[in-house]
Every structure is written in C-alpha cells, then in structure tokens.
Amino acid sequence: MDLPVRDFSASGYRSLQRITYPMSRLDVFVGANGVGKSNLYRGLELLQAAAQNRLGERLAEEGLSQAMWAGPRRAREPARIALSVTLAAPGQRSGAYRYEVEVGFPQLVTAAAFGLEPQIKLEALTYETGSRRVKLVERRNNAVMARDAEGRPAEIDLDLLASETLLGRLEDPSRYPELDQVRRTLLEWRFYHQMRTDADSPLRRPCTAVATPTLASDGANLAAVFATLAHIRGDAADLAAAVAEAFPGARLSIPMPERQASFGLSLPEFPQRVFEPAELSDGTLRFLALAGALLAYRLPPFIALNEPEASLHPDLTAPLAGLIGKAAERSQVWLVTHSERLAQALEAHGSVRTVRKVDGATQIAGLTLFGAFRDEDD
C-alpha cells in the first residue's frame, strides 16, 4: 500500500533554515530565481536518496560545507542537516509513520569516515497516533535499536559505515515491515527535471519493448510507456486528447512493438509523414515526455516536477496544466515553477504557495513555523 505524504520538514540545508510544509494533493511553488524553490525540491530528493542508501554520496557530491545552512546558529549548536517526512495511509488521520535523518561532519575519532564526508548522526522511524509516539527503529551514530515482533526494543548488530543510512541498509521485510514499507514508498517517488532533449537524449531513441507502467526519471522508457498505454492497457484516449490540445491537428503514432518500442508524430502540415523523435523540436519532445510521465498506466505515489514549462511555448501552458491536474487525481504532485501563468492555470486543481526569501532564509507565504497555513481553520 502506498503511503501519501502528510508533511515534509527540513532544517540546516542551504537556504532552508527551518521549515515544515503540510502537503496537499497538488502543491505549486511559484517564484523567481534564487528564492529557494529548488532547495525544497532537492530536500525531497535527499529523502529518496536515504532510501537508496545514497544520502551520504549525494551530499558529498554537493559538498557538505556548501550544502549546510550558512546563516547564524545558536551558540554551540552543531552544524546539521535534518530532513524528515510523515507518511500516512489514505484517509487515515490518526496514524502515521515519521522518518527523520540528521547529517553532520564526522567526529575526529571516527576512523570509518573521511575528513569532509557526511556522517549520519541520527536516524529514526516513529509511529505516531494522536499524542502517542512509538519509536520503531532508531540509530544514533552507529548504535541501532529496533523493536522486535513483541514490540520490545533490542540492539541490532549491523555493520554501518558513517555515511550509510539505516533505511537503506536494514533490509528484512519480515522483521521490520514498517521500515520496509516506508523505504519502498520513497523508492517509488519520481522526480522529473533532467529529461534531456539534446541530440543524444534517451527520449530520441527507441527502447526495449517491455510493458512499462511508469516513466523513468530520465524518460528513457518513454516509447514503452506509450506502447503500454496503447497496446497493453488499450486506452490511449487521454494521451491522444492531450496531444491534440497541445498541437492541433497532430496525431501520435505508436506502432505495435517488436523487439523495440518507438513512436512518432504526424503534423497537419505533412499528414502523410510521421516525424520520429530525433526530428522533433526540443519543446515538442519535452511536452510528450511530460505527457508520458503524467498519463502513464501506473503513476508513482508522489511526483515532483521542477520547472516543467522550460523550453515550452507559452501556448502549451494550458495543456500542461491539464496534464498536471489529471495526474493529481491519481497521485500527489509537487511542482516548482517560474511561470505565474502556469500557477494560475492550476488554481482550479490545488493550492498555489508563493516562496520568497526573508533574511536569507526560504519562507513560504502564509506558512507558520508550525507547518500550518494562517488561513486554515484552527
């Protein structure tokens, strides 16, 4: 069972001094460059990296010193990046799982870490119901505690490197089913922001013909996603309608795959010719990739989009908003955009929150420090 996101928290990461954001079905962040929108997006990516056991690697690639909050701290407050997410079953208000992780610089006495390597300081999975909280798994530095089948806490002998996450390493679904469910949920998230459209892009090439329910983050299986809709599910009506709205008179061609899956686009100016992906413009190909991501046979439980309007003609704003709104009916969608026009087109589908900078820290208009919006009922 997929677990929707109830809220997301981050502190000490880049411009995110301390922020908690309560998720809805469709969250849209609109603002200019440099206001911290992408840092919120990256923070969510880092939570997935924890499930992949790549959190230390990802922060090392960024440079831990550069990733740390550069603003003032309290006296003797350690430099830490803290991330957490609360996941709850659909329609369940009282019970939720909260995963949290804190990262800092290694201690001088730590032999199993390099000098500037990110070190996992704290990691925990808690079950929360009302005012009661039960810590299911906890890791402090390399000491690990987990509750057994009878609910009793016991130390776990696990060989953990300083940069490894417990979430990514403790793989035993029969003994730790809650941890496994949280990990699988985070691994199913999809982040769409680096789908290349250059001449060597995977989008421009055929792919292996295998039934494919979800678009990969790089879009490499786009042709298979289209073929699955057309020939396995037997329902590409929404896809055809989206293409027709975006490119009036155009038609998507999806041949029955043999060893490879492919697709093409026929245009009204040349009705007898099908243009292959290698011939399509960057904007046309990008829109088709977004259609594959948002109309796929099986959507991931959580979809994050970073500036999907990039390289798209303004006339594609309304069709893109339609795709995003339709996806939000089947999944949670988190959108970061520069486009006020796109944000306004989505107002009918969800809430739009403006992100701005105040004293060097990213804040969200209307959001209190306790993770609630001022216009919400008490």
Q: What is the pLDDT of residues 143-167, one digit of tens each?
A: 899 987 677 888 888 888 889 999 9
DSSP states along 49-118: HHHTT-HHHHHHHH-HHHHB--S---TT---EEEEEEEE--TT-SSEEEEEEEEEEPPPTT-SSS-TT--
Residue 123: φ, ψ to 5°: -150, 135
What are 234-283's pLDDT values in tens digits?
Answer: 999 999 999 999 999 999 999 999 999 999 999 999 988 999 999 999 99
Question: Which residues are 155's β-sheet partners?
Answer: 145
Would the pLDDT of 302 be above 80? yes
Mean pLDDT in residue range 2-9: 91
| pLDDT beyond 90 at 314 | yes
pTM, entire model? 0.90
Tell me the pLDDT of the chain averaged across its residues.
88
Q: 79-119: per-residue pLDDT in tens? A: 899 999 999 976 666 689 999 999 998 876 555 667 678 99
Q: Residue 247 is encoded by which pair of tokens?
A: 């490119």
User: Which residue reads 């992100």 in tokens?
Assistant: 355
Say whether pLDDT at 373 is over 90. no
- Does the domain formed by 191-347 have CATH 3.40.50.300? yes
The ranges assigned to domains in the chain are 5-28+35-188+353-364, 191-347
Confidence at residue 358, expressed as pLDDT on a 0 to 100 scale: 47
Q: 25-58, pLDDT tens digit by residue?
A: 898 888 666 556 788 899 999 999 999 999 999 9
Model confidence over 170-222: pLDDT tens digits?
888 888 889 999 999 999 999 999 789 999 999 999 999 999 999 999 999 99
**Of how many residues is the chain composed?**
378
Over residues 347-366, mean pLDDT: 59
Distance CA 100, CA 135 (A): 11
pLDDT, residue 138, reads 94
354: left (phi over 0), alpha (psi -120 to 50) or beta: beta
User: In the beta sheet, which residues pair with residue 101?
Assistant: 83, 123
What does the pLDDT read at residue 112?
64
pLDDT, average across residues 123-131: 90
In the structure encoding, which two tokens stand for residue 281, read together?
């413009």
Rounded Cα gap, residues 130 and 324, in angstroms: 33
